[in-house]
Amino acid sequence: MASRPEDASALRSDTIDEPREAVSVRVGGGMLRGSRSGGIARFLGVPYAAAPFGPLRFAPPAPHPGWPGERDATQPGATAPQAPYGGGLEQVLPSVEVAGDEILNVNVWAPGIGAAEEMRESDGAPEATATGRASLPVLVWVHGGALSRGANALESYDGTTFARDGVVFVAINYRLGSEGFSVLDGAPLNLGLLDVIAALRWVRQEIGAFGGDPARVTVAGQSAGASLIAAALAHPDGAGLADRVILQSGPLAARPRERAGRITRLIAKDLGIAAERDAFAAIAPDGLVAAQLRVTAGTTPVTGGPGFALAVGDGLPDPEVALGGGAADAVPVLIGSTREEARLWLEPTGLTARISALHLAAARLSFKIRGATMRAYRRNRPGASRGELFGALASDILLRLPINRLADARLARGVPTWVYEFAWSSPRLGLGAAHCMELPAVFDRLDAADALALTGGAAPESLADEMHGAWVAFATHGDPGWESWTADRPVRTFDTETRTVLAPREDERASWE
């Protein structure tokens, strides 16, 4: 477990009364002026690629032209066009909007140089890094949001606690929704993925200026962020950009081009335009977001309907197949999910009570769920409603089963993999151990407003100690602190009492085979 100061709140970035001083660093684009307080330097809104608008709209990320003089890096950068959550999810999932075109940016937190040290330029290069130390481990964060929402400016993703524990933390933005994941004639596929790859390349090239070790880069992400990391590992342009990865609750598969393009065609029909680059580029970004909201109304990842997805093609294979077949075997993987993923979409929205016998029957038919499997799930959940049973099945189909398959495939080749499950149950809105519930513990920010919306303030500090400590240990040493995957199927279970469990709910998992 990572060490913690006596008063961790003194190092929180949201301690607004704490004095800050300027600190500068040079990167490829020019000089940056960030801020330093509590021993931590922060550089926010740093561009890693050019603004993807105008002639660069629906094009691969292009190099940033740089800037004259010293660029202010004390405020979060622009966020990708998106709409806030609705339908009940706004109660637990925050949104943030920062205006501007330079949405391809990163935020960096690093253990800061001492107050008495000064950053000076000598022969065009700074005498010290922003940290005053070299070769610190690096953790790059890729946010989630169903490929249509999220931002590195969210309070949830403040990297202060990682920097406090000796890790240079980088949070990235990428194109979302129609801007990043449309399937258009005349435009490349998966532009948001290409953004992530460009950001990882920037980290390799520039992180040394912040005291980070470019040869010790752990890439972590949750939900769609984890999906993008898996895709980057499988994509030829992403080869060699991650030394370790942490995949939190991320679907591993990509869709065939035709299926992935369904939402693009629906948006085109809604707007009365063709599904091609020039036609979409003629619509303002907020117009595409509005159309997206109209065509996705009432849909969720667990109940179905149109949504953005990674598309197989333009160099991207299906990541689940590629990783299961040996792609990125040189990269140690920490992977897991929450115990009750689907509750995020079922409880705040009121859908649990509306799942009928017909919905359950349709799910059984669609996913070829055998009677033995249904009996195992019912047996382990006496008194469960149809909605609760539906949620358990959906959670495993989307995440737990693919995680086990990948861990087994890597084990067969002798590749190290660590598996976890977040099982702590939140009392708020019936969320339980829902999707996103592990984030406050991973970031050790149980007192943040974003965290309280999920946990209701009930999460024990020991949960954050254990989980954040494991993430720091993995980024630092390549070992989170428990047994890697074996034939005994060890799963680190984060709960009020964290422990390693061998083959949890094995009867359910085995019933699918």
Q: Write the DSSP assignment of 450-511 as a string of letters.
A: HHHHHHTT---HHHHHHHHHHHHHHHHHS--SSPPP-TT-EEEEESSS-EEEESTTHHHHHH
Tokens of 75: 């405020």
Active site residues: 223, 341, 435
460 C-beta neighbours (distance < 10 Å), count = 15
In this structure, are strands 333-338 and 417-422 parallel, antiparallel, or unpaired? parallel
* H or E element that contains 133: none
Q: How far is CA 147 from CA 59, 226, 492, in A?
A: 17, 11, 28
Do 179 and 52 meet the contact criterion of CB atoms below 8 Å apart? yes
The pLDDT of residue 138 is 98
Most distant CA pair in the chain, distance: 73
State the DSSP code for 313: B
Work out the number of other CB atoms within 10 angstroms of the CB of residue 359.
16
pLDDT of residue 33: 97
Angle at 491 between CA 487 and CA 497, to 5 degrees: 145
Give 426's Cβ-side CA count (13 Å radius). Answer: 32
Return averaged pLDDT per consecutive 10 residues of the chain, 513 residues in all: 37 51 96 96 98 98 97 98 95 96 98 46 39 78 97 96 98 98 98 98 97 97 98 97 98 97 98 98 98 92 89 98 97 98 95 90 90 94 94 96 98 97 97 98 96 96 98 98 98 98 96 92
Beta strand pairing status for 136-142 and 212-222?
A: parallel
- Find the helix packing angle between 191-206 and 224-234, rounded to 10°: 80
CA nearest to 77, candidates 125, 8, 18, 29: 29
Per-residue CA distances from 512 to 13, 23, 140, 171, 405 (Å): 46, 56, 35, 37, 11
Give the domains, in start order, of the chain with CATH numbers: 31-511 (3.40.50.1820)
The count of C-alpha atoms lying within 13 angstroms of the C-alpha of 259, restricted to the half-sphere facing its C-beta, is: 10
For 411, the enclosing helix (H) or strand (E) is helix 401-412
pLDDT of residue 134: 58
pLDDT of 191 reads: 98
**Nearest of 114, 78, 270, 112 to residue 178 by alpha carbon:** 270
The pLDDT value recorded for residue 304 is 79
Strand-pairing partners, residue 169, are: 109, 139
Q: Are 85 and 95 in contact (CB under 8 A)?
A: yes
Strands (E), 285-386: 333-338
Alpha carbons 333 and 339: distance in angstroms, whole number? 19
Whole-number pLDDT of residue 15: 41
